[in-house]
Structure 1
Amino acid sequence: MDRGTHTTATALIEAVRERTAAARVAEAAAFVAVGDWAAAHTSDEVVGDPITSLGEWDSEALAGDQFLELGGPGAPVVAEFCIGEVAAARGCSFDAARRLVGDAVELRWRLPRVHARVAAGEVDVWRGRRIAQTTRSLTFEGAGFVDRHIAYVAGRATGPEVDRLVAEAAARFDPETTEAERHAADGDRYLSIDLGEVGYADPLTGTLRGTVNVHGSLDLADALDLERSIAHVARQLGELGCDPNLDIRRSMALGEIARRCDGVTTLEYDVEQPPTRARREVVLFVHLDQAAITGTLNGIGPGIDACTGMTGIDLARLDTPGLPRGAVTVEQVQSWCGSPDTRVTVKPIIDLNHHDAVNGYNPPNRTADHVRARWPRCVFPYCTRSSRTADLDHCARYDENGPPGQTSTRNLFPLCRRHHRMKTHPERRTGKRWTYRPTNPTRNEPPNAVIWTSPMGLRYLVDRDGTRPWPEDPGPG
C-alpha cells in the first residue's frame, strides 16, 4: 500500500469513527428526548394498567386516554396516547414505542446513575435499555441496588452478568417473592408456535418454505414422553418410505401426533376400526382476477402472471387469524386440498377496484373482506397489525339520519383497537385526537392513501407501501 492509498484509507476509517460517534450522540439525545416527552405526560396518580398485556383489552380501556404503568414501583404512570406521537416520530409501531418509553421511564426514575451515563454518551442506548428491561420486576430498593453496582461497568457488562445481579437484588430485597418463584419454577413451562409469518428458506432469494417455528420449555417427564412419541412416529414414516432426512421426518411426526385420536396416531391403527382424525382447516383469502379463475386472458388464451411473465398463477396468499401470513406455493395448497383430512375454505375477492356501498352501520362480510383485502394492515402510521383482526372504522362519521350508502369500501378503513381508540378519543394533555382522511388526487396527493394528522399537528401519509411524513396542510386550494 503506497502512501497516498494509505492516507485515503486512513481518512475513510476516520470518517467511519466520526460518524459512528455522532450517531451514538444523536441516539442518546433522542432517547433522553423520549424520556422528557414521557415526563411531560406523567401523573402521580397510582393506577393499574388497563391493558393487561399487548393485544388483550379490558373493557374499561375503551373509554379513552389511560395512564399506563410502564416502569417498576416508584416510577410515575404515563398517558397512553402520548406514545402515539413517539411511534409516528420514530417511524415504528405503537408496541415498539411503548417499550421504548417504558425503558426511558425505568432508567430515568429507577436507574438514575445508568441513565446519566447513557445521556452522556458513555453507555450505548441499547445497553441501557437492556438493563432497564431486567429491573422492572424489582422493588424500588432492588432497582437502586442494581443501579449502584452496575452503573460504572454498564458499558461492558454482559447479559448474564446483569441477570445475575438482578437475581441477587431480587433475593436481597424481596426474599418472599423469590422463594415463591423458586417453588413455582415449573410455571415457566410454555409452548409457542410462531404463526406470525410464513418462513422463507433463503431471505435473500425469497425462496418459500411454508413452515413456522415451534419452541418451548417442557416438564422433563413430558419432554421424554414427547421425544419417544416423535422418535416412534418418525421411525414409522421412514419405514413407509418417507423422506430419508430424519429432521424432516421428526417435524412431520409432530403433525401426525397432533392429529391423533384416543392416543393412537394415524400411522398405527386397527384397519377394522380406524380412528377419527382431527381435521385440519385452511382458510385461503386468495386475490384473483378473471384470468386466474378461468386460466385464460379475456377468454382467449392462457393467463399471464404480470410479475413473472409466466403462464398461470403460482402463488396463493394466506391472510387469516390463526394462520401464518404470507405466500405459499400452489403445490402446497394442492397438498392440503388433496388430503381427506383437510377442510379448505377459499374466499375469492374479485376486482378490488370495484366499490361497494350498503345501508346500515355494520358492513356485510363481502364488504368487510373487500376492505381488508385493500388494506392488509391497520392504516394508522407505521402500524403493522393485520387488518383481519382490526375494527372497520367509518372515516367520515356515520350519521343515522344521513344519506344511504355511508358504509362503503370508500369510507371504511381497518384500525386496530388501540388506534381506533386514539382516533375516537382525545389525548389527556392537549384535548385533541388523531384524525385522518382519504387523499385527494386533485390536490396533487397520491391516490389510494390516507393522510393522518396528530394531536401535535404533524401529518403522515399511509398507503399500501407504508408510512412517510407529509408536509403541512396548505389549506383549501
Structure 2
Amino acid sequence: MDRGTHTTATALINAVRERTAAARVAEADAFVAVGDWAAAHTADEVVGDPITTLGEWDAEALAGDQFLELGGPGAPVVAEFCIGEVAAARGCSFDAARRLVGDAVELRWRLPRVHARVAAGEVDVWRGRRIAQATRTLTFDAAGFVDRHIAYVAGKATGPEVDRLVAEAATRFDPETTEAERHAADGDRYLAIDLGEVGYADPLTGTLRGTVNVHGSLDLADALDLERSIAHVARQLGELGCDPNLDIRRSMALGEIARRCDGVTTLEYDAGEATTETEPRPVHRARREVVLFVHLDQAAITGTLNGIGPGIDACTGMTGIDLARLDTPGAPRGAVTVEQVQSWCGLPDTRVTVKPIIDLTKHEAVNGYNPPDRIADHVRARWPRCVFPYCTRSSRTADLDHCHPYDPQGPPGQTSTRNLFPLCRRHHRMKTHREMATGKRWTYRPTDPSAGELPNAVIWTSPLGLRYLVDRDGTRPWPPPGPGREPDNT
C-alpha cells in the first residue's frame, strides 16, 4: 500500500470514528430528553406505594390517563399517555416507547452514576439500558449497590457480568428471598431422556436414525463434573481415531461414561481399538473436585471493618450474609452463598483445593518460554479480559502472549508478569500475522509503570497507525501520531 492509499484509508477510518462518536452523542442527548419528558409527567407517589397498585383504582380512573410503574422500587410513577408522545416522536411502537421510558426512569432515579456517564456520552445508551433492565426488580438499596460498583466500568461490562453483580446485590440486600429462590430452584432440577421419541432421518420414508433427545437442568457443581468427564472421554475417543466431529464424540462419551459406571466398557484405551470385554472391570467412583480461588479483602483478613464487628456485611450493615466469590475455570464467575459452597464440598468423596492468594503487585519471572501456573494465574487475575481493544472475552480461556517476543538466546526472565498479557485466539492471530493489504500487523506495548510497579495499561497500534489505550477500565482511542511521524509501533 503506497502512502497515498494509506492516507485515504486512514481518512476513511477516521470518518467512521468521528461519525460514530457524533451518533453516540446524539443518541445520548435523545435518551436524556426522554428522561426529562418522563420527569415532567410523574406523580408524587413512587413505585411500591399502595396507591400505585392498579387493582385498587376504580373503573372511571382506569378509563382515563393513569400512572404506571415503569421503574423499580423508589422510582416515581409515570403518566401512561405521555408515552404515546414519545412513540410518535421516535416513530416506534407504544410498547417500545414504554420500555425506553422505563429504562430512562430506572437510570435517572435509581442508577444516577450510570445515568451521568450515559448523559456525558461516555457509555453507550444500549449498555445503560441493559443495566437498567437487569436492576428493575432490586430493592432501592440494592440498585444503589449496583450503581456504585458498575458505573466506572459500565462502558465495557458484559451482560453476564451485569447479571452476576445484580445477583450479588439481591443476595446482599434481600438474602431471605434469594435463599428461598435457591431452594425453589433445587426443585426445578431434572434430567429427561426421551426414549419414546426416537428420531427419524426422513419422516416420509420412515428411516430410523436411532437417536433420542436428552435435556435437563443440573446443579452447577454436578454440571461441571459432567462436563469435565464428557470432555475427557471425548478427547480419548478422538485420540483413538474416532469420528472427527466433536459433537458426535461428546454424545458417544456420555454413553461410554454410563457403561463404565455399569461395570461394562466397550473400549480398551490402552489397546487403541474398540473391543468387547467379557469380564467387567472394577468400578471406582470418581471424586468430585472443587477448586476455590480465594478472594479476601482487608475486612476478611482482620475480621473487622472500621470498628464494625465480624459477620457484618460492609455494604448492607446486616449480619449473617456470607458470600463466596466463585472464580473457577470452566464455571460462570460471580458470588454465591457460603451455604451453596458447603453443599458442594460436604460430600465425603469431594476433594477441595484452595488456591493461594495472589499478590497482584508482585513481579515474578522465569527463564523458560511457558509460564508456570503461579504466573499464569497472576496474569489472568490481573487482566480479567483479552487486552485487545474492546474485546470482552475472558482471560481464563485466552492465550498468554509475550508482548516483547521471546528470544531463546535472549536475557533471562523474559516470561514474566511484566511481559505476559492475555489475548484470545482470534486477536492473538491478528497480532502475530501480518495484515494482507498493508503488510503490517497490530502491535502493542505496555505503558511505562511507576518504579517497582507492574504496567497497568497497554497501547495498541493498528496497521493503519491508529492507536488505542486498554486498561482495566476499558478501551479508548489514543491520540494518533502527528503529521510526518511514523506510527508508534514500539
Q: TM-score range by the shorter chain?
A: 0.3 to 0.5
The CA distance in 2 between the partners of 1:64 and 1:363, in whole Å, is: 69
Cα deviation, residue 415, structure 1: 0.8
Cα deviation, residue 321, structure 1: 3.2
Pair 1:346 & 2:370 matched:
no
User: In 2 relative to 1, CA 105–419 (structure 1 residues): closer, same or farther, beyond 3 Å?
Assistant: farther
Deviations 1:270-329 (A, max 9, x none): 9xx999755433222223357645747899995987766789994333333322222222
User: In 2 relative to 1, CA 45–8 (structure 1 residues): closer, same or farther, beyond 3 Å?
Assistant: same
Cα deviation, residue 367, structure 1: 0.7
- The 8 Å contact of residues 417 and 454 in structure 2, kept in 1 or not, is answered as no
Deviations 1:436-477 (A, max 9, x none): 111236799996111111112222222222222222xx5899
Cα deviation, residue 19, structure 1: 15
User: In 2 relative to 1, CA 12–31 (structure 1 residues): closer, same or farther, beyond 3 Å?
Assistant: same
Tell me, what secondary structure is at the counterpart of 1:192?
A: strand
Residues 273-282 or 394-403, more deviating: 273-282
- The 8 Å contact of residues 289 and 350 in structure 1, kept in 2 or not, is answered as no
User: In 2 relative to 1, CA 62–292 (structure 1 residues): closer, same or farther, beyond 3 Å?
Assistant: farther
The CA distance in 2 between the partners of 1:72 and 1:384, in whole Å, is: 29
The CA distance in 2 between the partners of 1:149 and 1:182, in whole Å, is: 24
Cα deviation, residue 433, structure 1: 0.7
Tell me, what secondary structure is at the counterpart of 2:465?
A: coil
User: In 2 relative to 1, CA 219–243 (structure 1 residues): closer, same or farther, beyond 3 Å?
Assistant: same
The CA distance in 2 between the partners of 1:55 and 1:378, in whole Å, is: 51
Residues 431-440 or 24-33, more deviating: 24-33
User: In 2 relative to 1, CA 301–424 (structure 1 residues): closer, same or farther, beyond 3 Å?
Assistant: same
Deviations 1:184-206 (A, max 9, x none): 99999999999999999999999
Deviations 1:412-443 (A, max 9, x none): 11111111111111111111111111123679
Deviations 1:8-31 (A, max 9, x none): 999999999999999799999999
The CA distance in 2 between the partners of 1:407 and 1:3, in whole Å, is: 37
- TM-score scaled by structure 2? 0.40
Partner of residue 476, structure 1 = 483
Cα deviation, residue 375, structure 1: 1.0
Report the aligned-residue RMSD. 26.4
The CA distance in 1 between the partners of 2:59 and 2:414, in whole Å, is: 27
User: In 2 relative to 1, CA 38–143 (structure 1 residues): closer, same or farther, beyond 3 Å?
Assistant: same
User: In 2 relative to 1, CA 204–252 (structure 1 residues): closer, same or farther, beyond 3 Å?
Assistant: same
Cα deviation, residue 403, structure 1: 2.0
Tell me, what secondary structure is at the counterpart of 2:128?
A: helix
Deviations 1:103-129 (A, max 9, x none): 999999999999999999999999999
The CA distance in 2 between the partners of 1:177 and 1:298, in whole Å, is: 29
Deviations 1:44-75 (A, max 9, x none): 99999999999999999999999999999999
Residues 149-158 or 344-353, more deviating: 149-158
Structure 2 stretches lacking a partner, 5+ long? 271-280, 485-490
- The 8 Å contact of residues 92 and 382 in structure 1, kept in 2 or not, is answered as no
Partner of residue 175, structure 2 = 175
User: In 2 relative to 1, CA 303–352 (structure 1 residues): closer, same or farther, beyond 3 Å?
Assistant: farther
User: In 2 relative to 1, CA 82–380 (structure 1 residues): closer, same or farther, beyond 3 Å?
Assistant: farther
Partner of residue 74, structure 1 = 74
User: In 2 relative to 1, CA 343–174 (structure 1 residues): closer, same or farther, beyond 3 Å?
Assistant: closer
- The 8 Å contact of residues 287 and 348 in structure 1, kept in 2 or not, is answered as no
Tell me, what secondary structure is at the counterpart of 2:52?
A: strand
User: In 2 relative to 1, CA 391–256 (structure 1 residues): closer, same or farther, beyond 3 Å?
Assistant: closer
The CA distance in 2 between the partners of 1:190 and 1:360, in whole Å, is: 48
The CA distance in 2 between the partners of 1:68 and 1:431, in whole Å, is: 59
The CA distance in 2 between the partners of 1:426 and 1:38, in whole Å, is: 52
User: In 2 relative to 1, CA 188–256 (structure 1 residues): closer, same or farther, beyond 3 Å?
Assistant: same
The CA distance in 2 between the partners of 1:308 and 1:172, in whole Å, is: 7
How many residue pairs match? The answer is: 473
Cα deviation, residue 356, structure 1: 0.9
User: In 2 relative to 1, CA 445–94 (structure 1 residues): closer, same or farther, beyond 3 Å?
Assistant: farther
Cα deviation, residue 134, structure 1: 30
User: In 2 relative to 1, CA 344–435 (structure 1 residues): closer, same or farther, beyond 3 Å?
Assistant: same
The CA distance in 2 between the partners of 1:80 and 1:217, in whole Å, is: 40
- The 8 Å contact of residues 439 and 445 in structure 1, kept in 2 or not, is answered as no
Cα deviation, residue 370, structure 1: 0.7
The CA distance in 2 between the partners of 1:70 and 1:336, in whole Å, is: 39
User: In 2 relative to 1, CA 241–358 (structure 1 residues): closer, same or farther, beyond 3 Å?
Assistant: closer
Residues 418-427 or 314-323, more deviating: 314-323
User: In 2 relative to 1, CA 257–71 (structure 1 residues): closer, same or farther, beyond 3 Å?
Assistant: farther
Residues 149-158 or 309-318, more deviating: 149-158
- The 8 Å contact of residues 266 and 275 in structure 1, kept in 2 or not, is answered as no
Residues 73-82 or 243-252, more deviating: 73-82
Cα deviation, residue 250, structure 1: 25
The CA distance in 2 between the partners of 1:286 and 1:189, in whole Å, is: 28
Cα deviation, residue 171, structure 1: 52
- The 8 Å contact of residues 319 and 388 in structure 1, kept in 2 or not, is answered as no
User: In 2 relative to 1, CA 64–13 (structure 1 residues): closer, same or farther, beyond 3 Å?
Assistant: same
User: In 2 relative to 1, CA 416–314 (structure 1 residues): closer, same or farther, beyond 3 Å?
Assistant: same
Partner of residue 376, structure 1 = 384
- The 8 Å contact of residues 92 and 383 in structure 1, kept in 2 or not, is answered as no
Tell me, what secondary structure is at the counterpart of 1:441?
A: coil
Deviations 1:345-399 (A, max 9, x none): 2212332111111212111111111111111111111222221221111112222
- TM-score scaled by structure 1? 0.41
The CA distance in 1 between the partners of 2:197 and 2:64, in whole Å, is: 32
Deviations 1:218-269 (A, max 9, x none): 9999999999999999999999999999999999999999999549999999
The CA distance in 1 between the partners of 2:56 and 2:69, in whole Å, is: 16
Tell me, what secondary structure is at the counterpart of 1:396?
A: coil
The CA distance in 1 between the partners of 2:294 and 2:88, in whole Å, is: 32
Partner of residue 131, structure 1 = 131
- The 8 Å contact of residues 135 and 143 in structure 1, kept in 2 or not, is answered as yes
- The 8 Å contact of residues 47 and 72 in structure 2, kept in 1 or not, is answered as no
Tell me, what secondary structure is at the counterpart of 1:475?
A: coil
Residues 222-231 or 105-114, more deviating: 105-114
Residues 127-136 or 53-62, more deviating: 53-62
Structure 1 stretches lacking a partner, 5+ long? none
Cα deviation, residue 402, structure 1: 2.2
- The 8 Å contact of residues 377 and 387 in structure 1, kept in 2 or not, is answered as yes
Partner of residue 452, structure 1 = 460
User: In 2 relative to 1, CA 24–281 (structure 1 residues): closer, same or farther, beyond 3 Å?
Assistant: same
